[in-house]
Structure formats: structure tokens, C-alpha cells
Amino acid sequence: MRALTALLMGAAAIPSMGADTTPLDPALDYHSYANVDQFRATQVGLDLQVDLESKVITGVAELQFKRLDPAATQLVLDTRDLTINDVSQRATDVLGATSKSEPIWVSRPFHLEKPDPILGSALVIDLPPSRKTVEAIRIDYETQPNASALQWLTPKQTAGRHHAFLYTHAEPIGTRSWIPLQDTPQVRATYKALVHTESHVLAVMSAGNDPKAKRNGEYSFEMPQPIPSYLIALAVGDLEFKETGPRTGVYAEKPVIKAAAKEFADTESMMETAEKLFGPYRWARYDILVMPPSFPMGGMENPRLSFITPTVMAGDKSLVSVIAHELAHSWSGNLVTNATWRDAWLNEGFTVYLESRITAAVYGEQRASMEAVLGLDGLRADFARLKPADQALAIDLRDRDPDLAFSLVPYEKGRLFLVYLDAKFGRERFDAFLRGYFDHFAFKSITTEQFNQYLEENLLNRFPGIVTRDQVLAWEHAPGLPADAVLPVSTAFVTVDQARSDWLAGRRQLRNLGADWATQQWVHFLDDMPPALGAARMSELDQAFGFTKSQNAEIEHSWLMLAIRNDYRPSNARLEQYLESIGRRKLIVPLYQELMKTPAGALTAKRVFDKAKPGYHPTTVAAIEPIVNPSGEDDAQ
Ligand SMILES: [Zn+2]
């Protein structure tokens, strides 16, 4: 009884936080209640009414399952904060009839288990045992306004300021807060959806979108390829569309659409590059949806329609590697998917590696290597704060929220593992291996152990004596980096390091420095400043380069980190505005952490967080709340 075991583990073990000493079962998803050994969803049908006023989605989810166990009498699904009004089963399944007329639906007994703070509530549906291989269930339900995957924005919180906006962000385990289903990446299903909205807004999904869709308040979607639940995504707002190529385009609010299409004009050539390297793009169109600034991530690889933060629009395409990243997920992540969140490095490490290959091909090696060095800096900072067990690629996430446990390890250490294999076996062999890997596991979800078996058969054993199995296991399970890791270097940063130290030593003026620097060089210039610069030097920098007024979100982030450390008051207003207007966790979480290091900063952090909170996505609030209220004193709010 897998569902019940998981239920008990979830409920009982949470306070001990990772102290679980029972051996981990790599094939088991510890973040789902679903009894996937007995039933597996194959199709999801949605009929949803989106009410932007009352912030509720009401609807019906019709799930089709393959029954694996004829004796099973319970179907267990994942939910979180859902109100379940009714559950019914297709009567033809009950009676064994084969009538082709409209199916009859018969109500089935169901109940919700006590909610677990991380996993939500198991929805347990009683079913009669059956020899049929297919079963269909219909669930009539509604969401709560606090659903963890949904952000409801008021008109004022959007770029256009006239219409409300809704978007979902569900990875890793948030889909259960807006659709009752088997919320585990082990299960892949196709989906169809009918979405009803007010007639003046447009709905888009991670599915086939029609760029010419009429605005009439009724939108239908189909995702014909089987995808894991976390990739079902929806956005509703006052959106426009602009083409950037035959297979690519941008959706955005009107005030943003022109700039967005310009910034992301290279998407089509990124796609062509990726196809040359990794095999055909298998999802028909690739469009980008520019999100409101509150979007918690840099991007989310929702298939056929990546959701992208507007903070990568610097005006000069200097931050568009995020597009290369989300596009690369069309191979690593969406086509071949991690089977559990322990295996997230198979999604993210591969994707950062692919991203870097695409960036190198489209924008040159220099940009790719600068980004790799910045990534390594971030990884080292994470190693410094993480306990050894969490520095492994395949980490034990039992009893933890996989969203809050995410670090740069699966991304950057994962990338370095693939860079290592690339260097050891040579580009030609490694590229052939990658293409074979994507073909072999296309539309499948795999564990680290399945990857290892494929790696052994197709690379390690085919070219023996180059990398051993133990070396692979060290990458995946040991802390830190192996001594023979191949680390990135950037000659473009050597110039920057020289300029910085010359200025600090009084050998160089600021005014003749940085004229041709790229964004990444400015970020590196600021990130490696000594922590205590003093007011005079801060003001000298600000006057020379106008950092306080920078419109480049990454440069501004690095500057504000420095401003907090140095208590540089002229940037205070900008800091508050930045924290209130941006919800991207990577940019704002470190600023809150930095503020919390002094008593005065902590007061600012709490005050600004209280003001900004209503504009943040629930997952951003969940990430920042424990930082600004470490003892949980404001939990009651
Ligand atoms: Zn990613």
C-alpha cells in the first residue's frame, strides 16, 4: 500500500527534517500520494471557468487511467487546498457496457485525507475492482484563492494596468493546488482543456496555442504529447502576440510586446542551432510568454510556451541565455524528464549544459564562458552554505519541500558533470551519446539509476578506460566537486579583475574603464568587489556609471547587494522599489538575506516585505517568509 505508507511518512516525519535513516527507494516519488503501481493517468481533460474577480477556478477534471491492478479498490490522487464537490466514474466502466452513446457518470464515494504541510491532502476515491484496463474519473472541484501555484494579479499589478491577470507556476509539486491528479513526474499524460474567461482577455496554455485566436472568452487547447503534471500551465490576461519566426513568437501585454519581440528576435536561430546539436524539436511551435514582473522564476519551460521573466529584457539581448535555457528544456526536462525531484539534476544539469552550447553557437564562446564562470561562483557560494549531503547531485529530499530545497547544485554541478564527460570522451562521441539519449528516452521519465545504466552501456563501456563507474557515482553522490573537474575560465574576466584591482589600488580612473564591457563583465566587476568599500568609493562608482539608476536587472542586483553591505543610502529608495516591483526569487532572495545581516537592515526587510508581499507569487512569499521572520513569529498572519 504505497499511498498509505507515503501518507504516514509525510505526516509523521516532517518535524525531523531529513533525519530519515531508512534506505531510500530511488524509484519512489516521496512527494506524491498517488498509487501509480495500480493506476496511471494517460489523459487529462479540463473544463475550467477562470474568475479573475473572485480569484477562483471552478471546473471539472476528467482523468483517464490505465488500470494496472484489477484488484485495486482505491484511486489516490494529489490535491492541495482544493474543494472537491463530486467525484464520478464513467458508468460503462462500472457496468461493463460497450454502448457508444453519451457515457453515464456515476458518483463514487471519496474523502480527503488530513492535509500535510508539504504534500497537501490525498484524495481517496473508492472504486470497485475491475478487469477493465481503462477507467475514467470525473472530478468536480474548485480552487482556493491561496492556491500555491496560482498568482492572481490586480489590474494595477500588470504592465497594462487595465485588466486582471492570472498565471500558474507549479514546478515542482504545485499542480495539485489547481488540478486534482497524480502529481508526480513519473506519470505522463496528454491533455485537452476548455477555458472560459471574461471575453476581453486571452487564455494561453502549455499546449497548442493559436496566435490568431479570437478573443471571445472561450479557448480550447490540446497537448498531444504526454507530459508530466508540473508542465501543465495556464495564463490569462490582456495579451497580444507578435511573430519572431515561422515557428516562434512572443505573447506579452501591450506595453511590452514590441520590446519583447525585439529582445527575443533570435529565438528562431536558437531553435535551429539546438536542432542541429540535439535532434529535432518535437513540439511544433515554440512561443514565449512574457510574464508580469512578479513571476518567481527566470523562466519556466512550459512546453510550446515558455513563461519568461521581464527582468531578462535588458534592451541589448545580453540576458537572453534564459531563452536558450528554457528552449533547451524541450529536450532535457520536457522530452526526457526526471522521475522524481531527487533526479532534478537530469532536468537542470543537462539543460544548463545545453543552454551553454546554444549560447556559444549563437552569441560566441566568450559569452558562454563568462556565464559558466558566474555559474561556478554561484555554485561555490551554495557549497559554502549547504551541508555535505545536499552538495550531491542526487539528493535525499524526503520530508522536505523540493521547491525550497532547490539550489544551484543540480544546475551548475550537473552542467560541470556533463562538461567533464564532454572533455573526457571528446565532443564528437559525447554529442552522439546525447542525441542517442534523447531518442532513447523520448517522452519518458527516468531516475538517476536509469541514466547511469544507459551511460554505462553507451559511453563508459563502449569507450573503456576513460571514465569509471566510481567516478560517475562520485559526481552524483559525493559533496563538492571531484578534483579532476574541468572548470570554466573566462579571459574576458581577466580584464575586469585587472581593472578592479587597479582602481582599488589607485592606479586607474573609473572614467576610462568598461566602455565595451558586456553585462556579465559588469556583474563580475561588482560581485568581486571587497565587501567593505566605504561611502566615498561607492559614490565614486555610482557617479561614474549610474548604477543606482541601471535598468539592467542583473547589474542592478549586484549593485544593490554592494549598496546593502556598505549601507550606501543614496540607493535605498531604488532598493525598495526593486524589491517591490520584482518577484524573481534569484534576484530578490539574496537581497533580503543581505539586509537581514544587520538590525537596521532587518527592519527595512520586514517593512518592505510586508508592502511587497501582496504582489509576490505564493512560492516567493514562502521562500522569503522564513528569511525575514526566522523564528516564525508572524506565522499567524
Ligand atoms: Zn531549468
Residue 464 confidence (pLDDT) above 70 = yes
φ, ψ of residue 190 to 5 degrees: the values are -80, 165
326 assigned to active site:
yes
Phi, psi for residue 152 in degrees, rounded to 5: -105, 115
Percent of the chain topping pLDDT 70: 94
Q: Percent of the chain at pLDDT above 90?
A: 90
pLDDT band at 21 (very low <50, low <70, confident <90, very high): confident
CA distance 1 to 43: 24
> In the predicted model, what is the mean pLDDT of the chain?
94
Q: Is 437 a catalytic residue?
A: no
Per-residue pLDDT at 94: 56
Mean pLDDT of 424-439: 98
What number of other Cβ atoms are within 10 A of residue 343's Cβ? 25
pLDDT at 156: 86
pLDDT in tens, 42-74: 999 999 999 999 999 999 999 999 999 999 999
Closest CA to 266 of 331, 363, 350: 363
Confidence class for position 98, pLDDT limits 50, 70, 90: low
Q: How many Å lie between the centroid of ligand 1 and the Cα of residue 299?
A: 7
pLDDT score recorded for residue 78: 98
Residue 18 reports pLDDT greater than 50: no
pLDDT at 5: 32
State the distance from the centre of ligand 1 to the C-alpha of 344, rounded, in angstroms. Answer: 9
- The catalytic residue among 253, 301, 326, 355 is 326
Report how many helices (DSSP H) and strands (DSSP E) the chain contains, helices first: 20, 21
Q: Which residues contact 107 (CB under 8 A, 6 or more apart)?
A: 86, 87, 88
What is the reported pLDDT for 459? Answer: 98
pLDDT (average), residues 232-255: 97
Ligand 1 center to 237 CA (angstroms): 25
CB–CB of 303/203 below 8 Å? no
- pLDDT level of residue 392 (50, 70, 90 thresholds): very high
Give the list of residues 6+ apart from residue 219 with CB closer than 8 angstroms, or none.
Answer: 194, 195, 197, 202, 203, 204, 205, 213
The answer to which of 4-8, 92-96, 455-459 has the lowest mean pLDDT is 4-8
- The rounded Å distance from CA 347 to ligand 1 centre is 7
Asked if residues 277 and 431 have their Cβ atoms less than 8 Å apart, the reply is: yes
pLDDT at 260 > cutoff 50: yes
Query: How many Å lie between the centroid of ligand 1 and the Cα of residue 125?
Result: 34
Structure confidence at residue 99 as a pLDDT band (50, 70, 90): low
What's the pTM value of the predicted model, to 2 decimals? 0.94
Give the residue carrying C-alpha cell 559525447: 430
Return the pLDDT at 633: 53
The pLDDT value recorded for residue 8 is 31
**pLDDT-based confidence at residue 4 (cuts at 50, 70, 90):** very low
Q: What is the pLDDT of residues 327-371, one digit of tens each?
A: 999 999 999 999 999 999 999 999 999 999 999 999 999 999 999
> Which has the higher per-residue pLDDT, 4 or 593?
593
pLDDT at position 20 is 56
Contact 628, 592 (CB under 8 A): yes
Helix (H) or strand (E) holding 89: strand 82-90
Question: CA-based angle 283:246:334, to the nearest 5?
Answer: 20
3-state secondary structure of 123: strand
CA of 169 to the centre of ligand 1 (A): 13
- What DSSP string runs through 155-170? GGGSSSSSS-EEEE--
Mean pLDDT, range 524-550, rounded to an integer: 96
Q: Which residues pair with 623 in a beta bridge?
A: none
**Distance, CA of 459 to CA of 155 (rounded, Å):** 54
Please report, for residues 143, 150, 159, 505, the alpha-carbon distance to residue 156 in angstroms, rounded to integers and kept in the order given. 23, 17, 8, 48
Q: Which residue has the cell 515542482?
A: 172
In the predicted structure, residue 496 carries a pLDDT above the cut 90: yes
Marked catalytic residue, from 30, 251, 411, 592: 411
Give the Å distance between the CA of 498 and the centre of ligand 1: 33
What CA–CA distance (Å, rounded) separates 209 from 212? 9
Is residue 172 reached through a cis peptide bond, with omega within 30 degrees of 0 on the bond before it?
yes
